[in-house]
Amino acid sequence: MGQRREGEYFSLNSAIEQGHIVRVRCGACRRAANFLPEDLAAIYGGNSFALEPLFPCSKCGTTDFVRVTTYSPAIADFGKITVRRPGPKKVVQTWENETFTERSRARYVRGADFRF
């Protein structure tokens, strides 16, 4: 189980090379999830520390009680372990306020003699 030796830096790239699965468990709300290290490396970078929380718990929103370990799956585990994978990206439209000025008014002018 993902225990590191003193002085050893265990990156996501190391977890990929060794064929590990990254387990993230929140001790506060008891939520747990398994991730493929190559998916995490694509988002957070392969040199990120594999045994440190990369994101807060999605249920309780804290990283204070999140524990990350790695697991080397056995042949018997295939088809039995649920792994979270990245889904489709969502685009969120943002809005900002601006003052209705001459520049924005010009789009709505219907004729040269139009007045407010």
- In this prediction, residue 26 carries a pLDDT of 93
CA distances, 97 to each of 91, 92, 101 (Å): 20, 17, 12
| 8: phi then psi, degrees, rounded to nearest 5 | -90, 130
CA–CA dist 6, 9 (Å, integer): 9
Q: Is residue 80 part of a domain?
A: yes
Query: Distance (Å, rounded) from C-alpha 38 to C-alpha 40?
Result: 5
Q: Is residue 18 part of a domain?
A: yes
First to last CA, the chain: 72
pLDDT at 110: 61
Q: Answer whether residue 16 is part of any domain.
A: yes
pTM (predicted TM-score): 0.70
In what side-by-side order are the strands of the sheet with 21-26?
A: 32-35, 21-26, 66-71
- Confidence (pLDDT) at 116: 55
Expressed in percent and rounded to 5, the helix, strand and coil fractions of the chain are 20, 15, 65
Residue 77 lies in a domain: yes
Q: Residue 17 sits in which domain range?
A: 12-109
> Is 7 contained in some domain?
no
**Tally of domains in the chain:** 1
Low-confidence ranges of the chain (pLDDT < 70): 1-8, 102-116
Asked if the structure places residue 74 within a domain, the reply is yes
How far is the C-alpha of 15 from the C-alpha of 44, rounded, in Å? 14
Residue 103 lies in a domain: yes
The pLDDT value recorded for residue 113 is 58
Q: What is the pLDDT of residue 83?
A: 94
The answer as to whether 1 is a domain residue is no
Output the pLDDT for position 5: 47
pLDDT score for 1: 43
